[in-house]
């Protein structure tokens, strides 16, 4: 899968939400706008199977399924026509480990901790070895735009966006223009720009989320719900944590039987560490749809986060009764039982 400019979609795999956001911003500055994110190897594998990213950037010590195991799986599934660019990062490795990942065809290994400048330089060396003069200019202007927005210089940022559009039609530029217009309270204009961003790159989850937030502000709740559902279908892990919570709650008032929204809000709460609240919304979802294996799986993940492996095992077994071939549940159950055996 690739965006309009021909750059492949990127799957980032990192257990820290803060680091995920930082690395995502670096990739945006490099012109990679179509992104997916996962907090563990199991989620990453599910995204890989459904979204077929061209690039994977993976923490060597990813939970559940580690980076090395992911690399092996991906290489087994690659074919002659499509070879995933696979980048690992993590602690300094020994010679045997480096030789092993080298044989499996890793594109590069970045040793962390390191400065963000060094991390970005290493990514650039691996991913962008031969930029044209025009591409380099666009990336520089995108970095300028993001800096101007962060500094609150919105009018200058808009002018910079217009300069970029004279060079190429770019979804990130339309997203930035929509974001600026929303900060100015010009919601209808903002919607138009976000729509243009999603027309160029249909997987631009952040744009779908911003559209949902604006629809909510305009009182167009059904459209807000649809935009959120689309964002969730693309990649729930990329949904911003604060704004969707308010949208979900608004949707609940009008449609209390929306299972997908309960599920999505539970994921938001889990990522924020609000585990008791996550359990609460998942329990409500089960009352509405007691035969949804994904809800049991998500409940199990919360119990795992709380160190309650026994309850996690119960939920996972219930999920597997409903869907015996649920691979992610099978993997998590093995991990939960292993943790229990060590207690």
Q: Does domain 10-130 have CATH number 3.40.47.10?
A: no
pLDDT band for 268, please (50, 70, 90 cuts): low
Q: Where are the domains of the chain?
A: 10-130, 134-342
How far apart, in Å, are the Cα atoms of 21 and each of 37, 278, 332? 9, 22, 25
pTM above 0.75, yes or no: no
Least confident of 75-89, 123-137, 253-267: 253-267
Query: Rounded to the nearest 10 degrees, how much is the dihedral formed by the CA atoms of 146, 148, 151, 153?
Result: -140
Checking DSSP bridges between strand 10-13 and strand 108-111, what pairing results, if any?
unpaired
pLDDT for 135-181, tens place per residue? 778 777 887 887 888 788 999 999 999 998 888 887 888 988 999 99
* Tokens 């800096």 found at: 147
pLDDT band for 4, please (50, 70, 90 cuts): very low
Average pLDDT, the chain: 81
pLDDT band for 193, please (50, 70, 90 cuts): very high
Cβ(31)–Cβ(3) under 8 Å?
Answer: no
Q: Strand pairing partners for 156?
A: none
pLDDT for 283-322, tens place per residue? 887 877 788 888 898 888 888 877 788 998 999 999 999 9
Q: Give the model's pLDDT for residue 238.
A: 42
Least confident of 57-61, 183-187, 199-203, 241-245: 241-245
Q: Give the model's pLDDT for residue 315.
A: 92
Q: Kindly tell me if the per-residue pLDDT of 5 is higher than 90.
A: no
Cβ(71)–Cβ(104) under 8 Å?
Answer: yes
Q: Give the model's pLDDT for residue 86.
A: 94
pLDDT for 318-343, tens place per residue? 999 998 988 888 888 888 888 777 66
Q: Kindly tell me if the per-residue pLDDT of 253 is higher than 70.
A: no
> How buried is 49 (Cβ within 10 angstroms: 0-12 exposed, 13-18 middle, 19+ buried)?
exposed
pLDDT for 93-143, tens place per residue? 877 778 778 878 898 999 998 888 889 888 988 887 656 677 778 777 887
Q: Give the model's pLDDT for residue 79.
A: 67
Q: 248 or 111: which carries more pLDDT confidence?
A: 111
Q: Give the model's pLDDT for residue 3.
A: 46
Q: Could you tell me the maximum CA-CA distance found in the chain, to the nearest angstrom?
A: 62
Q: Give the model's pLDDT for residue 321.
A: 93
Q: Give the model's pLDDT for residue 110.
A: 92
Q: How many other CB atoms are found less than 10 A from the CB of residue 55?
A: 22
Cβ(1)–Cβ(52) under 8 Å?
Answer: yes
Query: Which superfamily, per CATH, for 134-342?
Result: Tetratricopeptide repeat domain (1.25.40.10)
Radius of gyration of the chain (CA): 21
pLDDT band for 258, please (50, 70, 90 cuts): low
């Amino acid at each position: 899968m690739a965006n309009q400019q021909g750059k492949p979609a990127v799957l980032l795999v990192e257990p820290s939400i803060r680091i995920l956001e930082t690395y995502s911003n670096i990739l945006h500055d490099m012109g990679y706008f179509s992104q997916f994110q996962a907090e563990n190897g199991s989620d990453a594998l599910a995204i890989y199977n459904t979204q077929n990213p061209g690039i994977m950037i993976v923490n060597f010590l990813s939970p559940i399924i580690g980076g090395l195991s992911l690399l092996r799986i991906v290489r087994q599934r690659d074919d002659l026509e499509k070879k995933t660019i696979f980048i690992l990062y993590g602690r300094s490795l020994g010679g045997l480990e480096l030789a092993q990942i080298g044989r499996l065809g890793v594109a590069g290994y970045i040793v962390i901790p390191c400065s963000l400048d060094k991390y970005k330089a290493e990514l650039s060396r691996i991913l962008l070895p031969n930029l044209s003069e025009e591409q380099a200019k666009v990336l520089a202007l995108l970095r300028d735009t993001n800096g101007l927005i962060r500094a609150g210089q919105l009018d200058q940022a808009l002018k910079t966006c217009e300069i970029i559009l004279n060079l190429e039609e770019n979804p990130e530029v339309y997203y930035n223009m929509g974001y600026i217009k929303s900060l100015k309270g010009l919601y209808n204009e903002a919607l138009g720009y976000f729509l243009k961003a999603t027309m160029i790159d249909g997987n631009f989850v952040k744009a779908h989320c911003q559209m949902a937030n604006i629809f909510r502000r305009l009182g167009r709740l059904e459209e807000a719900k649809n935009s959120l559902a689309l964002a969730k279908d693309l990649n729930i892990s990329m949904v911003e944590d604060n704004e969707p919570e308010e949208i979900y709650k608004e949707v609940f008032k009008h449609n209390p039987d929306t299972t997908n929204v309960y599920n999505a809000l539970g994921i938001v709460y889990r990522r924020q560490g609000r585990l008791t609240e996550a359990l609460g919304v998942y329990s409500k979802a089960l009352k509405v749809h007691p035969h949804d294996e994904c809800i049991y799986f998500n409940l199990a993940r919360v119990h795992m986060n709380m160190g309650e492996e026994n309850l996690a095992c119960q939920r996972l077994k219930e999920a597997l009764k409903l869907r015996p071939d649920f691979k992610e549940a099978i993997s998590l159950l093995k991990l939960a039982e292993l943790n229990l055996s060590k207690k």
